[in-house]
């Protein structure tokens, strides 16, 4: 099945206000910036985004944030985005901070049909016991906090240990960026862009992939495919200019 769309605008046209998005990338590496810009132009609002972070103030998910289009974030890292921190602390944005490995596994589990799993990460902390601020009011008071989670003891090679139950994430849409992809939706990610992109592709009910280089079916080595086309419903081929437009989150130089 040929899954290539005419352009990014047509690929995101049916994303409705209130949808949940799983967005690939880490920092500014491997983010689906063209799809994000198309969604910004499309107008959907009241969105919930599941992503490691929220880009920076003027790029990636940060553009949706600045436009007040995000209602909630599930992420691991506030990072370099000052507007992300400001909106969270002022009560304008709900944020569920999640340990990075736990977030990755929640997304993978959602794409694998696993409703929940136990992990040692967070046991004995507010991650398990509850009370992590999710939303503040304009005066800085916590008005919504994380609930307590089930903790169970299991026998391990090191003896009995406690583990906390974490629920899987399934998003309405997955937005990812691939180095190469074919018309059937098979994707290859390059270097560190192979971080949250395969997971976002797995856990989206409808996954849209922007690809830097579109190839014909059969041209990709099956042994090198990172995300099989069964997880991808739409493909957007980028222009050379779009593919080359990659930002650097922070520059450092020698003295």
2 domain-assigned: no
Same domain, 40 and 90: yes
Distances (CA, A) of 208 to 81, 98, 244: 25, 24, 19
Same domain, 143 and 37: no
Please check the confidence at residue 79 and state whether its pLDDT lies above 80.
no
**How many C-beta atoms lie closer than 10 Å to residue 213's C-beta?**
15
180 domain-assigned: yes
Same domain, 131 and 192: no
Please check the confidence at residue 168 and state whether its pLDDT lies above 80.
yes
133 domain-assigned: yes
Same domain, 84 and 156: no
Instruction: Compute the distance between CA of residue 230 and CA of residue 240 in angstroms, rounded to an integer.
Output: 26
Same domain, 125 and 142: yes
Same domain, 204 and 101: yes
Please check the confidence at residue 207 and state whether its pLDDT lies above 80.
yes
Q: How many CA atoms lie within 13 A of 243 on its CB side?
A: 16
Sequence-ordered list of residues with C-beta below 8 angstroms from that of 97, at least 6 positions apart, any chain: 75, 76, 78, 132
pLDDT tens by residue, 17-73: 999 999 999 989 999 999 999 999 999 999 999 999 998 888 999 999 999 999 999
Our count of domains for the chain comes to 2
Q: Tell me which residue range forms the domain holding 159.
A: 118-167
Torsion, Cα 229 235 241 247, to 10 degrees, reads: -70
Sequence-ordered list of residues with C-beta below 8 angstroms from that of 130, at least 6 positions apart, any chain: 145, 146, 147, 148, 149
Same domain, 53 and 79: yes
226 domain-assigned: yes
Instruction: Compute the distance between CA of residue 251 and CA of residue 169 in angstroms, rounded to an integer.
Output: 33
The pTM of the full predicted model, rounded to 2 decimals, is 0.94
Same domain, 226 and 133: no
Please check the confidence at residue 103 and state whether its pLDDT lies above 90.
yes
41 domain-assigned: yes
Same domain, 109 and 224: yes
Q: Residues of the chain with pLDDT > 70: what percent?
A: 100
Same domain, 109 and 122: no
């Amino acid at each position: 099945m040929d899954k290539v769309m005419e352009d990014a605008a047509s690929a995101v046209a049916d994303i409705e206000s209130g949808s949940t998005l799983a967005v690939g990338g880490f920092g500014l590496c491997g983010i689906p910036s063209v799809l994000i810009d198309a969604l910004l132009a499309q107008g959907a609002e009241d969105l919930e985004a599941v992503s490691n972070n929220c880009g920076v103030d003027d790029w990636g998910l940060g553009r949706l944030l600045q436009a007040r289009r995000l209602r909630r974030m599930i992420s691991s890292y506030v990072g370099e985005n000052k507007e992300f921190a400001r909106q969270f602390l002022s009560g304008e944005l709900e944020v569920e901070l999640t340990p990075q490995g736990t977030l990755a596994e929640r997304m993978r589990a959602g794409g694998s049909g696993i409703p929940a799993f136990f992990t040692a990460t967070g046991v004995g902390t507010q991650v398990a016991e509850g009370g992590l601020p999710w939303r503040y009011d304009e005066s800085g008071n916590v008005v919504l906090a994380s609930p307590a989670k089930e903790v169970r003891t299991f026998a391990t090679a090191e003896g009995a240990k406690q583990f906390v139950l974490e629920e899987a994430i399934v998003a309405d849409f997955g937005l990812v960026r691939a180095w190469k992809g074919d018309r059937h939706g098979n994707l290859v990610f390059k270097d560190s862009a192979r971080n949250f992109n395969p997971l976002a592709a797995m856990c989206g009910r409808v996954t849209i992939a922007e690809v830097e280089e579109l190839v014909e079916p059969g041209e990709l080595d099956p042994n090198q495919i990172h995300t099989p086309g069964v997880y991808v419903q739409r493909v957007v081929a980028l222009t050379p200019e779009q593919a080359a437009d990659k930002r650097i989150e922070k520059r450092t130089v020698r003295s």
